[in-house]
Amino acid sequence: MTAQVKNVDALTREEAAQTLAELAEQIARHDQLYHQQDAPEISDAEYDELRRLNSAIEERFPDLALTDGPSGRVGAAPASGFSKVAHAQPMLSLSNAFEANDVVEFIARVRRFLGLEEAETVEIVAEPKIDGLSASLRYEGGVFLLGATRGDGTTGENITANLKTIADIPETLPPDAPAIFEVRGEVYMSREDFFALNERQTAAESKTFANPRNAAAGSLRQLDSSITAARPLRFFAYSTGETSEPVADTHWNFLSHLKDWGFSVNPLSRLCADSTEALALYEEIDAARSSLPYDIDGIVYKINRLDWQSRLGMVSRAPRWAIAHKFAAEQAETVLHNISIQVGRTGALTPVAELEPITVGGVVVSRATLHNADEIERKDVRAGDSVIVQRAGDVIPQVVRAIAEKRPKDSKPFIFPDHCPECGSVVMQEEGEVVRRCTGGLICPAQALERLKHFVSRNAFDIEGFGGKHIEAFRTDGLIKTPADIFRLASHTEEISTRDGWGEQSTDNLLAAIEARRHIPLERFIYALGVRQVGQSNGRLLARHYGTFEALSEAMAAAQDPESEAFSALIAIDGIGPSVAADLIAFFAEDHNQTVLNELAELLDIEPFIQAETDSPIAGRTVVFTGTLEEMTRGEAKARAETLGAKVSGSVSKKTDFVVAGPGAGSKAKKAAELGVTVLSEQQWLEMLNGEATP
Ligand code: IVH
C-alpha cells in the first residue's frame, strides 16, 4: 500500500526521505505497468498524485531528490520486441494543475521567470489533453521515415510500421515543410471505435480492453503491423521535436502550419489572451466532455510565444512553458463488504476497504485504503455501509464517505485489532505516530515475507524473474527463510526445476540472475535490508559516509553506546537524525539480523561506495547570486545553475564557492571578499557555464 502523506509541510526530513524512496518504487512500478504492459493498476489521477507528492517533497527537500528517482524519468524504458530509438530531443511530460488558482499561479511564475512588465500580455494556447499515448514522427526530405513511442523520454520504441497504418498521419509533407521535421502528438482511439473493438474481441474470445487508452496502446504495440492496421487509431498533432529550421514564432502559428501540411490538429484548441479566457474554455470543454467522441482528461495550456518557451526551458522532466489542468475526480457509489488488515514490511497495520467491484473513471476498483484507525473513526465507515469512492487527486482509490441513510440497522463500528492478524503478536502505537504496528518482528510471517519481497525488489537486489509471487511460493515450500537463503538456492536445483511451472531452463535462468547479483553496491545493499526509515536516500548517505560494509557494521556495533564517538558520528551525518539512528542501531543489534548480515557478508561481494563524477564544471559547487542580473532573471539563473548540479544558496559563508555579483551588489559581495570567496561578474559566470572558462 502507498505512503499516505497529507501534509508535506509537516514531514520530518527522515519521513521525507523514506517517502521519496517509497514513491520512487511505486512510480517505477506503475510506469512499467502502464508503458510496457498496457495494464495500469491505478488511474491517471492517482498516478499524477504520486508524482505531485514526489515533486512537493522534492521541492521542500531538494537535496533528498533521488538522482534515479521519478522526476528525472519519464515513463518506462522501452520494452523488448521493437528496436530502440534515441529521441533527438527528449519527449517531455507535463506538470499538473488541479484548480484554477494553480493556473493563475503558473502564469505568474512564467511572468516572474521572464521578468515581464505588467503591461506585457502573455497569450496562451489551450488544447484538450487527449487521453492516448504520445508518439514522435520524423520526416526527412518531406518523407515520414521514423516513428517512435515516448518510452522513458530519452529512448522509445521504433513503431514506424504501425504508425504508417494510421490515416491521420501523412506519408509525405509539402515542399515548404523543413527538411528535417519531427512532429509529436497523441495516438488515440475514439470511444465508439473502442466499444466496437471490444465487441469484436469478445466475439473472437480475445482479450478486451479496460478503456480507449489501453486499447490504443495495445494496438500500437503490436509486433505485427497488420493487426494495428485493423485497429481504428487516430492521431492529433500538438508539438515538435527536432526541426532543421524554425517553423513559426508562436505555437498558434505552428498549429496552423501543421494543419496546412496535412496533420490533424484538435479543433477545440484556442488562442487565449489571458488565464481568464483559458479558464473559461476549460469550463466549457469540461461541460461538453462526456459528449466528445474521445476521452480527454484535462486541458493543456501552453505559452504561445516560442522565444519565451525556449527561455523558460524545462525543469526535470517537464517544460516550464506548459501545464496540464486536470478535470476533477470521478466518484461512484458502492458497498463496503469488509475491512481487512494488511501487515507491511515494518509491521505497520493498514486497514483496507474490501469493496463490491465498481468502475470509476474506466477502471475497476475493488479495494481502497482506509489509511489508519483514526481515519476509520473520523469517517465512521463500517462493514456493510454504502460508500462513495473516488479516484483522483489521491494516491489510491479513496473512500470519501459512508452514506448514513443506507447504513444497515445492525451495523457496528469497526474495532481495530490489538493483536496482529498474521502472527498474534501485540499491536503497539508509538507516541506521536498514527500507525499501529505488529511487535512480532521476524516471527511475524507477514513482515518476514514483505522484507524478502523488498530485498529482491527493483531498487534493491533486483533479481530478474524473481518477483513477489516466487518469493511467496518458495517461502511457503521452505526453500527460503532468510535473504541469505536466496544465495544458496543453487544447492536446490533439483527441487526448483521439478516445481510446477518450472523446468531446467527457467531454473538455470533464475540461478544465473541470482549469481549476477552477488556483486552489489553498498548503497543498494543497505536499502535492501529494509531498516525502518532507511530508504534509498538514507542508504546512499550511509554508504557515502562509511564507504564499506565492514566500516558500517563496526560503526553500528560501536554506536550502541550513546556516549561513543561512533554514535556522535552517526547522528552528525547530514540527513540522519536520532530517530533514524535509533532504528539502524536497533536493527544491527538484533541477533537474528546479525546472523543474516554475517551470512550475507560471506555470500556476497558488497562493493564499496564510489563517489559519482559529473562533467559539469560547477557540479557540487555552492553559488550565491547577488545584485541585478542583466541576461536573465534570478529564477532563470538559479534554475540553470541547479540543472548543472550546483547548489544555490541565499547567503554567503565559508562554504560558498562563487558569488555572482551584478550591478548593485552590496553586503554579500563584501562578505565574499572578506571570506576570500571568488566573486564573478555575470559574464564570467556565463562563460563558466558554457565551459569557456573553468572554475
Ligand atoms: S504537450 C513538452 N499537448 O500528455 C510537452 N501533451 O502528461 C509535451 N498529451 O506526454 C506534451 N494531449 O502524451 C501536450 N495537447 C496536448 C496533449 C498532450 C495529451 C499527453 C502527452 C504527454 C502527456 C503529458
Q: What is the pLDDT of residue 3?
A: 44
pLDDT in tens, 79-138: 457 889 999 999 999 999 989 999 999 999 999 999 999 999 999 999 999 999 999 999
**Distance (Å) of CA 273 to CA 82, 312, 313, 319:** 43, 19, 22, 20
Of the pLDDT bands very low, low, confident and very high (cuts 50, 70, 90), residue 35 is low
Mean pLDDT to the nearest integer, 534-538:
86
Predicted confidence band of residue 483 (pLDDT cuts 50, 70, 90): very high
647 and 561 in one domain? no
Average pLDDT over residues 602-617: 79
Torsion of CA 527, 528, 533, 537, to 10 degrees: 20
Per-residue model confidence (pLDDT) at position 77? 47
> What is the CB neighbour count within 10 angstroms for residue 277?
15
How far separated are the first and last CA of the chain, in Å rounded? 47
| DSSP for 332-387, written as a single string | EEEEEEEEEEEE-TT-BEEEEEEEEEEEETTEEEEEEE--SHHHHHHHT--TT-EE
629 or 44: which leads in pLDDT: 629
For the chain, the domain total comes to 3
Q: Is 680:625 a contact under the CB 8 Å cutoff?
A: no
Q: For residue 267, what is the domain's CATH number?
A: 3.30.470.30
Report residue 429: phi and psi, to 5°: -125, 120
Whether the CB-CB separation of 527 and 516 falls below 8 Å is answered with: no
Q: pLDDT tens digits for 354-387? A: 999 987 765 678 898 898 899 899 999 999 999 9
Sign of the Cα pseudo-torsion (484, 487, 491, 496, in order): positive
The pTM for the full model equals 0.53
User: Which pLDDT belongs to residue 666?
Assistant: 82
- CA separation for the pair 651, 623 (Å, rounded): 9
- How many A from CA of 483 to the centre of ligand 1? 43
Asked if residue 682 and residue 568 are part of one domain, the reply reads no
Length of the chain: 695
Q: What is the pLDDT of residues 510-529, one digit of tens each?
A: 999 999 999 999 999 999 99
- The β-bridge partners of 591 are none
Dihedral sign, Cα of residue 400, residue 404, residue 406, residue 407: positive
| 540 in the same domain as 681 | no
Please give the pLDDT value at position 232. Answer: 94
Q: What is the pLDDT of residue 2?
A: 43
Q: Predicted confidence band at 264 (pLDDT cuts at 50, 70, 90)?
A: very high
Verify that 593 and 675 share a domain, yes or no: no
Return the pLDDT at 683: 86
Task: Please check whether residue 264 is in contact with residue 234, taking contact to mean a CB–CB distance below 8 angstroms.
Answer: yes
Pocket test for ligand 1, best of 44, 89, 93 (most atoms within 8 A of CB): 93
Q: How far apart are CA 447 and CA 344, in angstroms?
A: 6
Confidence of residue 682 (pLDDT cuts 50, 70, 90): confident
Phi, psi of 380 (to 5 degrees): 45, 60
Q: Which of 684, 609, 612, 622 is nearest to 652 (CA)?
A: 622
For residue range 9-23, what is the model confidence (pLDDT) as tens digits?
A: 888 888 888 888 888
Q: Which residues contact 256 (CB under 8 A, 6 or more apart)?
A: 248
664 C-beta neighbours (distance < 10 Å), count: 9
Q: Is 682 in contact with 669 (CB distance < 8 Å)?
A: no
Distance CA 303, CA 275 (A): 11
* Domain-terminating residue out of 549, 581, 607: 607
CATH (domain of 670): 3.40.50.10190
Ligand 1 centroid distance, CA of 151 (Å):
14
Closest Cα to atom 16, ligand 1: which residue? 129
In terms of domains, do 563 and 532 share one? Answer: yes
- Does the annotation count 469 as an active-site position? no
Q: Same domain, yes or no, for 670 and 548? A: no
Provide the H-helix boundaries in 517-649.
Answer: 522-528, 536-546, 549-558, 565-572, 578-589, 591-603, 634-643
Tell me how crowded residue 599 is: count the other CB atoms within 10 A of its CB: 16
Query: For residue 226, is pLDDT > 50?
Result: yes
Assess whether pLDDT exceeds 80 at residue 599. Answer: yes
Measured from the Cα of 269, ligand 1's closest atom is 15
Q: What is the whole-number distance in angstroms between the Cα of residue 474 and the centre of ligand 1?
A: 43
What is the reported pLDDT for 1? 36
Tell me, yes or no, whether 436 lies in a domain: no
Q: Classify residue 390: in a domain, yes or no.
A: no
Within a domain: residue 372? no
Domain harbouring 557, CATH code:
1.10.150.20
* Residue 136 CA to its chain's centroid (Å): 22
Of the residues 291, 326, 361, the one at which a domain ends:
326
Atom of ligand 1 nearest to the CA of 93: 24
Indicate the angle between helix axes 565-572 and 578-589, nearest 10 degrees: 130
Sequence-separated (6 or more) residues with CB below 8 Å from residue 26: 2, 50
Rounded distance between C-alpha atoms, residue 312 and residue 278, angstroms: 20
The answer as to whether 34 is a domain residue is no
> Please, which residues bridge with residue 390 across strands?
331, 398
Residue in the block written with cell 517461502: 475
At residue 301, the 3 state secondary structure works out as strand
263 with 321, same domain: the answer is: yes
Ligand 1 pocket test, pick from 89, 134, 263 with the greatest ligand atom count within 8 Å of Cβ, gives 134
**Contacts of residue 57, Cβ cutoff 8 Å, sequence gap at least 6:** 5, 8, 11, 16, 19, 20, 23, 64
Whether 269 lines ligand 1, by a CB cut-off of 6 Å, is: no
Q: Mean pLDDT over all residues of the chain?
A: 88
In a domain, 102, yes or no: yes
Beta carbons of 384 and 397 less than 8 angstroms apart: no
d(CA 324, CA 37) in angstroms, rounded, equals 25
- Protein residue with its CA nearest to atom 13 in ligand 1: 134
Query: 178-188, pLDDT tens digit by residue?
Result: 999 999 999 99
Q: Ligand 1 atom closest to Cα of 131?
A: 19
Same domain, 210 and 303: yes
CA dist 478 and 509 (Å) reads: 21
Pick the catalytic residue: 129, 453, 647, 668?
Answer: 129
Helices (H), 231-329: 251-260, 275-288, 306-312
Q: Is the dihedral of CA 164, 167, 173, 177 positive or negative?
A: negative
Sequence-ordered list of residues with C-beta below 8 angstroms from that of 166, at least 6 positions apart, any chain: 187, 233, 234, 235
Same domain, 626 and 586: no
Separation of alpha carbons 606 and 546, rounded Å? 13
Counting from 1 in the atom list of ligand 1, the atom nearest the Cα of 129 is: 12
The pLDDT tens digits of the residues spanning 98-107 come to: 899 999 999 9
Average pLDDT over residues 335-359: 93
- Does residue 64 register a pLDDT over 80? no
Instruction: Report yes or no on 12 lying in a domain.
Output: no
Query: Predicted confidence band at 690 (pLDDT cuts at 50, 70, 90)?
Result: confident
CB crowding 410-438: b at 16 or more within 10 Å, else e: eeeebebeeebebbebebeeeeeeebbbb
pLDDT at residue 258 tops 70:
yes
Phi, psi (deg, nearest 5) at residue 194: -65, -45
Per cent of the chain over pLDDT 70 is 93
H or E, element range at 109: helix 100-114
Whether the CB of 127 sits within 6 Å of ligand 1:
yes
Tell me the pLDDT band of 694, cut-offs 50, 70 and 90.
low
* Domain span holding position 650: 622-689
Last residue of a domain, one of 326, 357, 386: 326
Ligand 1 contact, 322 CB (< 6 A) = yes
pLDDT band at 4 (very low <50, low <70, confident <90, very high): low
